[in-house]
Structure 1
Amino acid sequence: MDTRNSSDSIGYYTPDRSAEVVNARMGKAINPRLALLMASLVGHLHGFAREVGLTQDEWDVAIEFLTEVGQMSSPQRQEFILLSDTLGLSMLVDAINNHRPAGATETTVFGPFHIECAPVLEMGSNICLDGKGDPCLFEGHVLSIDGSPIADAHIDVWSDNADGYYDVQQPGIQPKWNNRGVFVTGPDGKYSFKGIRPVPYPVPEDGPVGRMLAAIGRDPYRPAHMHFMIRASGFQKLITHTFFSGDPYLKSDTVFGVKKSLVATLEPAGRRGEWRSAFDFILAPIV
């Protein structure tokens, strides 16, 4: 239903009818979905301001905060994604838009540190280029819901290094593409690559989002995880992580990304200091 009315019939702006007056000034010939989104946004923002009795000083701080979030954002670091993640909004949008059939691997947040065009590597390659950390073998299969292997699935993986930083956070310190790579499955759907046992890390605390978390007494840490983005013809794209049992931050992930089904095994393997994590990914078909 179109909630907009003629500006003339609504009258002048008054605090008690502010959202109604603002929304009445939208044009009639605009995209209906845009009209719905903007009308709801304006209504909730104005309702929030009235509910809390927002002061001018508080609104000035909010404007300054959002300005800093934008200024901090770049192709290498997306502070707005970090803000969305830490407010739990990214996970809510993900849940609304990624209903999966029973048995399919669940999704989770994308995160701000993915980089397009990571190198395609031979199966079994080592993505750790800085030589730090405990070696870990990641392996498993990419399967359909009926258990059939999926060939030609592109598995884009990325993680932090042993110091808890992604390569894009430390240009000139970490090698480019450190702990990143793309692998393509064969007819058996199997994948394997070597990396490191990921470590927990705090989200960036040197910007406005980090200061916000500190101000409200929030733990900035994420549990250790490996990122996966899997694409295969005929199947829905899967963006997810694997986490590891026993991690102290599983129940306090600052971006709310942990799901029980994504907690993978992590066990000692081979020589001392080496690890192995096995996880099968089940893709949902495009319907």
Structure 2
Amino acid sequence: MTDLRMSHDEQQARELDLTQRVLRSFDTCADPRLRELMRAVVSHLHGLIRDVRLTEEEWAAGIRFLTEVGRVSDDRRQEFILLSDVLGASMQTIGVNNRAVGDATEATVFGPFFLEGSPHVGQGGSIASGAQGEPCLVEGRVTNTAGEPVPNARIEVWEADDDGLYDLQYNDGRVAARGHLFTDHDGNYRLWAITPTPYPIPHDGPVGAMLAATGRSPMRAAHLHFMVTADECRTLVTHIFVQGDALLEADTVFGVKESLVREFERQPASTPIPDGSTVDVPWTKVRFDIVLGPSEVRGS
């Protein structure tokens, strides 16, 4: 009786031959970078399938998962960004594209809750706009890597409220806990925000189900988002984190960097603020000096 089973070497050759045929299909791609990317995607994807001996049922389950990620994504919720974040892909991409330059402030994840057209709050203004939370005075100075002040830098700030939700997660159209201002001629800025608290990323969808299935927490360390843009400087997307937060070592999107951890100093009610006025409730203050790298620096 003839043995119809394929030997290990024959099976391996058959699998590698398919990979090579798919790779050759991109030989006529006119865009060299697109050709490079597609060939790399195919090589790694085929390698994964071969290495773990992926079953057809597992592949179908993966397709269903990605289909569901797309289904729940819309202009207010970006589940694919969440997926990228919890897999560490966002932070890896940031690391590749934000090579360290001098003492430039480190970048971290953008997140899925940025919104264009935030209110202009001006120096000393508040981004809260009714969002619940403990008041927090944030101030600092923006300079370049030569130590020179960066005037008129645009600083976007956004965060979750005390219930752990961003304004985009509400259905009433509110715009709160976000805003922007510009540095003065010496690069200084000051604004009022909300003292950050830990919160879970949206986990009622497929990404949350994946975290639960793998025994991972959806919690993010407490943080405040910044995006800083200025002429001749590299755009900076970053956070500041709260010193002492128990989640600094367990942030579900791997976004914490030691250089971005800051002390949020507690102030009793009626403590004078820099303009001489007082706040009638307890509040915190934090200083975040920002150093922008030169715009021509790219990932190596």
Aligned mates of 1:274, 1:121 — CA distance in 2: 19
Shift of 1:29: 4.4
Runs of 4+ aligned residues of structure 1 deviating over 6 Å after TM superposition are: none
The equivalent residue for 1:9 is: none
Aligned mates of 1:57, 1:91 — CA distance in 2: 30
Q: TM-score, normalised by structure 1?
A: 0.92
Q: How large is the RMSD of aligned CA atoms in angstroms?
A: 1.4
The equivalent residue for 2:219 is: 221
Of residues 229, 243, 246, the one that matches 2:244 is: 246
| Farther off after superposition, 20-29 or 106-115 | 20-29
> Superposition pairs for residues 80-99 of structure 1, below 5 Å?
80-99=80-99
Q: Is the 2:196–2:242 Cα contact (8 Å) retained in structure 1?
A: no
Q: Is the 1:90–1:109 Cα contact (8 Å) retained in structure 2?
A: yes
The equivalent residue for 2:153 is: 153
Letter in 1 for 2:267: A
Shift of 1:101: 0.9
| Local SS of the residue matching 2:43 | helix
The equivalent residue for 1:116 is: 116
The equivalent residue for 1:52 is: 52
The equivalent residue for 1:165 is: 165
CA deviation profile, 1:226-285 (whole Å, cap 9, x unmatched): 000000111110000000100010011100000000001211124152111111001112
Shift of 1:155: 0.1
The equivalent residue for 1:261 is: 259
Shift of 1:100: 2.7
Shift of 1:146: 2.7
| Farther off after superposition, 46-55 or 237-246 | 46-55
Structure 1 residue 282 corresponds to structure 2 residue 291: yes
| Local SS of the residue matching 2:83 | helix
The equivalent residue for 1:5 is: none
The equivalent residue for 1:26 is: 26
Shift of 1:99: 0.8
Taking only the aligned residue pairs, the percentage that are identical comes to: 45
| Farther off after superposition, 88-97 or 33-42 | 33-42
> Superposition pairs for residues 60-79 of structure 1, below 5 Å?
60-79=60-79
Q: Is the 1:269–1:275 Cα contact (8 Å) retained in structure 2?
A: yes
The equivalent residue for 2:142 is: 142
Across the two proteins, how many residue pairs are aligned to each other?
Answer: 273
Letter in 1 for 2:136: C
| Local SS of the residue matching 1:45 | helix
Q: Is the 1:243–1:258 Cα contact (8 Å) retained in structure 2?
A: yes
Aligned mates of 1:119, 1:171 — CA distance in 2: 19
Q: Is the 1:134–1:196 Cα contact (8 Å) retained in structure 2?
A: yes
The equivalent residue for 2:17 is: 17
Unaligned runs of 5+ in 1: 1-12
Aligned mates of 2:145, 2:46 — CA distance in 1: 46
Unaligned runs of 5+ in 2: 1-12, 270-280
Aligned mates of 1:101, 1:132 — CA distance in 2: 38
The equivalent residue for 1:10 is: none
Aligned mates of 1:49, 1:161 — CA distance in 2: 42
Letter in 2 for 1:213: L
Q: Is the 1:140–1:280 Cα contact (8 Å) retained in structure 2?
A: yes
| Local SS of the residue matching 1:94 | helix
Q: Is the 1:18–1:46 Cα contact (8 Å) retained in structure 2?
A: no
Aligned mates of 2:100, 2:51 — CA distance in 1: 37
Q: Is the 2:140–2:188 Cα contact (8 Å) retained in structure 1?
A: yes
The equivalent residue for 1:38 is: 38
Aligned mates of 1:97, 1:65 — CA distance in 2: 29
Aligned mates of 1:39, 1:149 — CA distance in 2: 45
> Superposition pairs for residues 177-216 of structure 1, below 5 Å?
177-216=175-214
Of residues 230, 237, 254, the one that matches 2:228 is: 230
Shift of 1:95: 0.4
Shift of 1:225: 0.4
CA deviation profile, 1:193-241 (whole Å, cap 9, x unmatched): 1111111011111110010001001111101100000001111100000
| Local SS of the residue matching 2:65 | helix
Aligned mates of 1:29, 1:149 — CA distance in 2: 46
Q: Is the 1:265–1:279 Cα contact (8 Å) retained in structure 2?
A: no
CA deviation profile, 1:27-50 (whole Å, cap 9, x unmatched): 424211111111111111111111
